[in-house]
Structure 1
Amino acid sequence: MWNPFLVWLCIAGTIIFGSQGEQTSQGEEPSQEKVVQTSQGPIRGYKSPDYNVFQFWNIPYATAPTGVDRYKAPLAPPTWEETFNATNRGIICPQGISNDNLVEQEDCLVANVYAPDTQTPNASLPVLVVVHGGGYLIGHGDEIPPIALVNSQKIVAVTFNYRLGVHGFLCLGTEVAPGNAGMKDQVALLRWVHRNIAAFGGDPGKVTIAGCSAGGSSVDTLMLSDTTSGLFHQIISESGCSLAPFGIQMDPLKNAVDHAALLNFTYTDDITALGEFYASLSTELLTSGTLVSEIIAGNPGYLFFQPCVERDIGQERFLADAPIDILRNGNYTKVPTIYGYADMEYIGGGMIFDSWQNEVQNSFENVLPVDLKFENETQRNSAANAAKQFYFGGEVTNTSRIEFVNYMTDVMFVHPILRGVSLQIEAGNDQVYLYQYGFVHNNSITLPGDDLPRGASHCEQMETAFKHIGSKEPSQEFLEMADKMGELYLNFILTGNPNRGADSTWPVWEPVNDTDTRTTYYLIRATAEVINTENNQEIVGNFTSRVEFWDQIYVDNDIRRPIPPPEVVNAATINIITNKTLFVFAIIVLSCSYNIGI
């Protein structure tokens, strides 16, 4: 049987790993070098042949523990006396996707720094730190470097790897696997930036963190962690947030138990034994063996590993409470933030609609948001029927492709982002900028059928701001939009305000000032517009009513909160949500990364 996930792996592998851009090999001498002195020792980078930018690749910012300690927090980075040659790239964290130009290794915690060739002595420029996407399962820091922004000579940028999948997000609440190793890697990177970025001409007191999809979810969640105080000062969160279905594990112990079952481990209420089992596994078995063969076999038990709410075991915790509760309590540092989403986030997943038509038609309850809590099956079926009627008119047919795209766009991206923004406004953050991106160009994804509408796809807004060019020669319209989006990003990084200046033809972008995030918002298509939904209902895809529908669903039903792993658990108590539901969401999250990893 044709497997959509296998097709997605091929596509994502080509996109994420197939275009590495310029690279200095072991035997090639860079044209122009630069040596900086860091807390670890001297580091040598080289001048890009295409930009007025120095590049420093694969700098160890921390040490990933290995062996039985591989699921623990990162260790201190190495130091050296001789100059470290940061001129070779290609290290990635284990993820089971091979590429001749990339090297998978457990000790993969490396950073890449892009610094302008400024002639200003002792420069102290604002810093952009980019967190890559990939569903917390695949990806690496060198996917889409923001070198075009750095070429403005106005900022310094950092990209990096963090541990993925089981390595990064096994969460047992034990000494072996406390949880959130991958997020603790991200915190370690920010601490490294705080200590060392001045050596590259950056200002540690002016750091913006940015990411798309799982990267967007990451930066949003970093804001909620007590461990990140003072490490960053602004956020750009694109196509993802802490409340997204792929943003957090609802039941990390159940995920670990079900995943271990795929590897023939029988859980007997002994978390210690479960941890010892995971500690004994080889890297190869944890990645390629399970990730590929079990999903191809169609096993519905495969689950994601994502950030989790940690149990207190006397160690530093990255996340002690559910994101929804932290947002509601307002107990976090509020910083200027941009939240963006594409108007057709899931258009790439629409390519595989045919393989999901029967599932959506016959078992719609399996694609409801995983954070909805139902008292019984009757209530669950009622919500499923209401959503099916609203989006599909009650019948999912072979002509329902665009309706499927709209549904998944809303439940996975748009509505979670808007819920989070509303909670931030309620908590008193008056510096939140929200926008919808709908610019379409010659490299944008299109669905089969001339009569289907077009829209921007998952993470396309960040790709545009970074001038990431697709397979076709870019159009003049794309290059002009890339300049405008890049300027928008730069203005925000420099000032905390994205507006492009008095000479801009774009309207002023005001921060959200109402918890009803649908009243007025910023829309970027061929140009920018300020949309007031009270006077203008011509929103792409009847957007306003779609959001209002989900608002009511969440009013009518309880919210299911993520739980930390317990000290002692009975196996019968962890079967909270069906394997099938989580599997469907796993496939959906990865499938929507048609053009860029979540």
Structure 2
Amino acid sequence: MRLISRRRVPLALAAGLTLAACLTSPAVPAVASDAPKRPVVATETGLVRGVDHGDYQTFAGIPYAAAPVGPLRWRPPGPARPWPGIRDASQPGSPCPQTPNSEAHSGSTNEDCLHLNVTLPRTDRHRPLPIVVWLHGGGFLTGAGSSYDAHRMAVRGHVVVVTLNYRLGVFGNFGYPGLNGSGDFGLADQQAALHWVQRNATSFGGDPRNVTLAGESAGGMSTCTQLTSPSAAGLFAKAIVQSGACSVDFGKNAVYPGVADFSPWTSQAAVRSAGQQAATALGCPQPARALSCLRAKPAATLLSANQNFQQIAYDTPLVPQRPATALREGRFHRVPVLQGNTRDEMRAYVAPLQQQHPITTDSYRALLLDTFGDRARRLAAVYSPTAYGTPALAWAALNTDRAFACPTLTADRLLARHTATYAYEFADRQAPSLGYPQSPQLPLGAAHATDLPYLFDLGGRPASFTPAQNRLAAHMIDYWTTFARTGAPDRRDLPHWPRTPARAAAPYVQQLDTGPGGIHRVDGAAEHHCRLWPQD
């Protein structure tokens, strides 16, 4: 994970993953194959030739919207242009513009990036398959849909999986006074991709009436936000939110010492104000000409302002309310939701801090006092280095509870009042590290994003799993895809996963871990000391 700035908080929620471009797929081509291993499918804008991998097929780099370049920069996505002949769909398109990172080593300045990838199983079933549309993480600053090789999910779960790119940073979340769509261009891209799925799903053997929108980290936050967006109505029938509940919030010092409170959501007014400041810094200070001036700037120049645009805007037509408020008022789409987080989320944030500036007993006390003032003594008694092993582990546990675990339980409760909700916690503390820094004082455990290799081959490479972890991965795919098929993850051959009660006496979640009895119900509020972190 990469902490970019002490003043601006990058939600590098999926950064730190060593990802490369991965394969993408389909399975029931609407047009006969014209050559071995190269199936052809008809989409609304033209024919695409994918790759046959035996038990699954992939179609990569399919445009779902017009390239947002030139005068189309900072405009809602328009329709993709048709192409003549057969478009090669063996390789993914470019990631959207982003600075160099572990996922896109050289970064990207290519704005022609609104592409998606389809993976589908080879099947003799005649009924259309459920569809999972996956939104990548990366703190709204980095990432690409092509990094998630979904063939295990497609083959084992008998589902069609669609991964996609959406505009990021200054290209996806930019705002300016008078600019239509300010702050929500990336979300609008996601909806454009969902519309594409509705119109093209049957060509790939999918059922447009049975679409599950899913994502992790920034992708989970996007999914939760789409639950509250009026214009997303009818575009998906279920939702999976991983480490991105609408109630997630980062308090003072949570991500890095010296950083103030930070939310993944902000008002449109704040985004427009940030846009004015960025325009001045980029040499476009005159309001009447600012947008035309900025649209003439190279993408590489605009990336210098990227960190100022890492939040989703609300008070907009796309997102009328702050999503947490919408949940509290019951203003969201009534679709089944599967939602949860990892047991040790914030160890991924504390890991680079521990490598650069190790947390000692004295600095831990100072952090508590600076962050919580009069509450520091009470919190120190619960989150003591003695109880957790080291000051770094205690600080990570405290911030996991206040930023992720307890807010997610609150969101579970609010959702369950109105719709079928299923809560989980990924808890394999021996999970692959994903490249995070490690130290004896801070074993990573089930840190942020460590659940992803259990569902996807990140960068097209399978994780090095033990037999027990392979079984957990299979069970998780079974749960996820059963939910995508039926709206409930529970199935006879797996440990029972009950629905979250509308008025739960105790907030139980399904804990997902290895070993005999590793999958079982736990009291999430007790485990994460949620009495100390009231949300209402």
Pairwise TM-score range, normalised by the shorter structure: 0.7 to 0.9
- What is the alpha-carbon distance in structure 2 between the residues aligned to residue 273 and residue 365 of structure 1? 48
Unaligned runs of 5+ residues in structure 1 are 292-301, 312-316, 369-380, 556-598
Aligned to 2:21: 20
Superposed displacement of residue 509, structure 1: 1.2
One of 187, 194, 197 as aligned partner of 1:193: 197
Give CA-to-partner distance per residue, 1:389-415, whole Å, 9 cap, x none: 4665699x9941001211221233222
- What is the alpha-carbon distance in structure 1 between the residues aligned to residue 13 and residue 130 of structure 2? 35
Q: In 2 relative to 1, CA 22–273 (structure 1 residues): closer, same or farther, beyond 3 Å? A: closer
Q: In 2 relative to 1, CA 213–175 (structure 1 residues): closer, same or farther, beyond 3 Å? A: same
Aligned to 1:255: 274
Q: In 2 relative to 1, CA 22–423 (structure 1 residues): closer, same or farther, beyond 3 Å? A: closer
1:475 is the counterpart of 2:462? no
Tell me if structure 2 keeps the 8 A contact 1:41–1:83. Answer: yes
Q: In 2 relative to 1, CA 440–100 (structure 1 residues): closer, same or farther, beyond 3 Å? A: closer
- What is the alpha-carbon distance in structure 2 between the residues aligned to residue 36 and residue 486 of structure 1? 27
Superposed displacement of residue 309, structure 1: 1.3
Unaligned runs of 5+ residues in structure 2 are 26-33, 250-262
Q: Which aligned pairs between 1:75-90 and structure 2 lie closer than 5 A?
A: 75-90=78-93
1:519 is the counterpart of 2:526? no
Residue aligned with 1:486, SS: helix
User: What is the letter of the counterpart of residue 401 of structure 1?
Assistant: A
- What is the alpha-carbon distance in structure 1 between the residues aligned to residue 400 and residue 524 of structure 2? 20
User: What is the letter of the counterpart of residue 548 of structure 1?
Assistant: R
Aligned to 1:456: 446
Give CA-to-partner distance per residue, 1:295-316, whole Å, 9 cap, x none: xxxxxxx5342210144xxxxx
One of 421, 425, 437 as aligned partner of 1:432: 421
- What is the alpha-carbon distance in structure 1 between the residues aligned to residue 218 and residue 184 of structure 2? 14
Q: Decide which moves more: 416-425 or 467-476.
A: 467-476
- What is the alpha-carbon distance in structure 2 between the residues aligned to residue 91 and residue 524 of structure 1? 34
Q: In 2 relative to 1, CA 409–83 (structure 1 residues): closer, same or farther, beyond 3 Å? A: same
- What is the alpha-carbon distance in structure 2 between the residues aligned to residue 345 and residue 363 of structure 1? 19
- What is the alpha-carbon distance in structure 2 between the residues aligned to residue 207 and residue 57 of structure 1? 19
Percentage of pairs with the same residue: 25
One of 75, 92, 96 as aligned partner of 2:95: 92
- What is the alpha-carbon distance in structure 2 between the residues aligned to residue 497 and residue 348 of structure 1? 30
Residue aligned with 2:314, SS: coil
1:46 is the counterpart of 2:51? yes
Residue aligned with 1:152, SS: helix
- What is the alpha-carbon distance in structure 2 between the residues aligned to residue 451 and residue 102 of structure 1? 32
Aligned to 2:258: none
Aligned to 1:332: 332
Aligned to 2:481: 490
Superposed displacement of residue 85, structure 1: 1.6
Q: Decide which moves more: 523-532 or 74-83.
A: 523-532
1:305 is the counterpart of 2:310? yes
Q: In 2 relative to 1, CA 304–203 (structure 1 residues): closer, same or farther, beyond 3 Å? A: same
- What is the alpha-carbon distance in structure 1 between the residues aligned to residue 415 and residue 533 of structure 2? 19
Aligned to 1:284: 300
Residue aligned with 2:522, SS: strand
Superposed displacement of residue 87, structure 1: 1.5
- What is the alpha-carbon distance in structure 2 between the residues aligned to residue 36 and residue 409 of structure 1? 45
Residue aligned with 1:56, SS: strand
Q: In 2 relative to 1, CA 146–203 (structure 1 residues): closer, same or farther, beyond 3 Å? A: same
- What is the alpha-carbon distance in structure 2 between the residues aligned to residue 359 and residue 169 of structure 1? 36
- What is the alpha-carbon distance in structure 2 between the residues aligned to residue 340 and residue 392 of structure 1? 22
- What is the alpha-carbon distance in structure 1 between the residues aligned to residue 223 and residue 342 of structure 2? 18
Give CA-to-partner distance per residue, 1:84-141, whole Å, 9 cap, x none: 22122241100022757986411210010112222345x4111011000000100000
TM-score by length of 1: 0.74
- What is the alpha-carbon distance in structure 2 between the residues aligned to residue 484 and residue 224 of structure 1? 30
- What is the alpha-carbon distance in structure 2 between the residues aligned to residue 279 and residue 365 of structure 1? 46
Q: In 2 relative to 1, CA 284–142 (structure 1 residues): closer, same or farther, beyond 3 Å? A: same
Superposed displacement of residue 425, structure 1: 2.7
Aligned to 1:561: none
1:499 is the counterpart of 2:490? yes
Q: Give the aligned length.
A: 497
Aligned to 2:401: 410
Tell me if structure 1 keeps the 8 A contact 2:170–2:302. Answer: yes
- What is the alpha-carbon distance in structure 2 between the residues aligned to residue 386 and residue 280 of structure 1? 55
- What is the alpha-carbon distance in structure 1 between the residues aligned to residue 453 and residue 123 of structure 2? 25
Aligned to 1:126: 130
- What is the alpha-carbon distance in structure 2 between the residues aligned to residue 79 and residue 463 of structure 1? 35
- What is the alpha-carbon distance in structure 1 between the residues aligned to residue 523 and residue 11 of structure 2? 40
Residue aligned with 1:77, SS: coil
Q: Which aligned pairs between 1:155-304 and structure 2 lie closer than 5 A?
A: 155-175=159-179, 178-245=182-249, 246-250=263-267, 251-260=270-279, 263=282, 275=291, 278-287=294-303, 289-290=304-305, 302-304=307-309
Tell me if structure 2 keeps the 8 A contact 1:242–1:248. Answer: no
Tell me if structure 2 keeps the 8 A contact 1:176–1:279. Answer: no
Tell me if structure 2 keeps the 8 A contact 1:238–1:462. Answer: no
Q: CA RMSD in A?
A: 3.7
Tell me if structure 2 keeps the 8 A contact 1:418–1:517. Answer: no
- What is the alpha-carbon distance in structure 1 between the residues aligned to residue 366 and residue 162 of structure 2? 46
Q: In 2 relative to 1, CA 265–361 (structure 1 residues): closer, same or farther, beyond 3 Å? A: farther
Tell me if structure 2 keeps the 8 A contact 1:179–1:310. Answer: no
Tell me if structure 2 keeps the 8 A contact 1:91–1:108. Answer: yes
Superposed displacement of residue 424, structure 1: 1.8
- What is the alpha-carbon distance in structure 1 between the residues aligned to residue 219 and residue 105 of structure 2? 25
Superposed displacement of residue 496, structure 1: 1.1
Q: In 2 relative to 1, CA 394–498 (structure 1 residues): closer, same or farther, beyond 3 Å? A: closer
Residue aligned with 1:58, SS: strand
- What is the alpha-carbon distance in structure 2 between the residues aligned to residue 401 and residue 153 of structure 1? 39
Q: Decide which moves more: 457-466 or 164-173.
A: 457-466
Aligned to 2:252: none
User: What is the letter of the counterpart of residue 408 of structure 1?
Assistant: N
Residue aligned with 2:41, SS: strand
Q: In 2 relative to 1, CA 366–115 (structure 1 residues): closer, same or farther, beyond 3 Å? A: farther
Superposed displacement of residue 351, structure 1: 1.6
Q: Decide which moves more: 214-223 or 31-40.
A: 31-40
Residue aligned with 2:451, SS: helix
Superposed displacement of residue 64, structure 1: 3.3
Superposed displacement of residue 510, structure 1: 1.1
Residue aligned with 2:148, SS: coil
Tell me if structure 1 keeps the 8 A contact 2:483–2:490. Answer: yes
Tell me if structure 1 keeps the 8 A contact 2:211–2:236. Answer: yes
TM-score by length of 2: 0.82
Q: Decide which moves more: 104-113 or 523-532.
A: 523-532
